[in-house]
Chains A and B, each alone.
Chain A
Amino acid sequence: VVMTQSPLSLPVTLGQPASISCRSSQSLVYSDGNTFLYWFQQRPGQSPRRLIYEVSNRDSGVPDRFSGSGSGTDFTLKISRVEAEDVGVYYCMEATHWPPTFGQGTKVEIK
């Protein structure tokens, strides 16, 4: 499965919304009906941190300005109002198929 993110670079103004698209080459709906699509944030110089699991579920401690949506092959991560601490690279990842595969990453920076 190929995971394609867009854009690869996303300059945003503080306080403005941001949206990242992730498309898979095959449906990510598993045989049990679940969709194993995740979003990760990697701040500069840090390890990745999981933000969203199974398309739209926020992990513990993740601010509610982050939201995930989508189905099938098209998914989106939205940041409602970008803050300075949101700078970094965001990756989608699918684990419906083997092996688990990441997208190329989207670099979010402040304008």
Chain B
Amino acid sequence: EVKLVESGGGLVQPGGPLTLSCAASGFTFSSYEMNWVRQAPGKGLEWVSYISGSGSTIYYADSVKGRFTISRDNAKNSLYLQMSSLRAEDTAVYYCATKKGNSWYYYWGQGTLVTVSS
């Protein structure tokens, strides 16, 4: 059974850092490209960042470029999102989601809530 389990969310002050993790199981993690997708409270879905299976190709949404860093550890079947200089508008549930070839977002985690507030 495929499982994606996010962790690391919580309350953080504006300007502060936070690191999210996504633990994968039930599939060959290194064969899948991975994404972070977020959803602000009561709002729609927004792609945040992408990383290839090897980690060699990375993309970010303009809204987070220069502040967020995506990475993965295929030996640990884990995906990460290091977030810095957090803003109120980064408040959202953050999901990790898979991509394989042209198949986007078939598997999703349950999400982890990040709240940026003083």
Q: Which residues of B contact A103 (CB under 8 A)?
A: 44
Instruction: Give B35-60 interface residues, CB cut-off 8 Å to A.
Output: 44-47, 59
Write the nearest CB–CB distance from A96 to chain B, whole angstroms. Answer: 10
A residues near B104, Cβ cutoff 8 Å: 36, 38, 50, 53, 93, 95, 100
Question: At the interface, yes or no: B11 with Cβ under 8 Å from chain A?
Answer: no
Number of interface residues of B (CB under 8 A): 16
Q: List A contacts of B109 (CB < 8 A).
A: 47
Task: Check: A70 CB closer than 8 A to any chain B CB.
Answer: no
- Which residues of chain A have C-beta atoms less than 8 A from B111's C-beta? 47
Contacts of A95 in B (CB 8 A): 102, 104
Q: How far is the CA of A105 from the CA of B40 in the complex (A)?
A: 13
Query: B59–A59 contact, CB under 8 A?
Result: no
Assess whether B44 is in contact with A91, with CB atoms less than 8 Å apart. yes
- Residues of chain A within 8 A (CB-CB) of B45 are 40, 42, 48, 91, 93, 102, 105
* Cα-based distance from A104 to B106 in the complex (angstroms): 19
Q: List 24 A-B contacts (CB under 8 A).
A: A34-B102, A38-B104, A38-B105, A40-B105, A47-B108, A47-B109, A47-B110, A48-B105, A48-B108, A50-B105, A53-B103, A53-B104, A53-B106, A91-B44, A93-B45, A93-B104, A93-B105, A95-B104, A99-B61, A100-B47, A101-B47, A102-B45, A102-B47, A104-B44
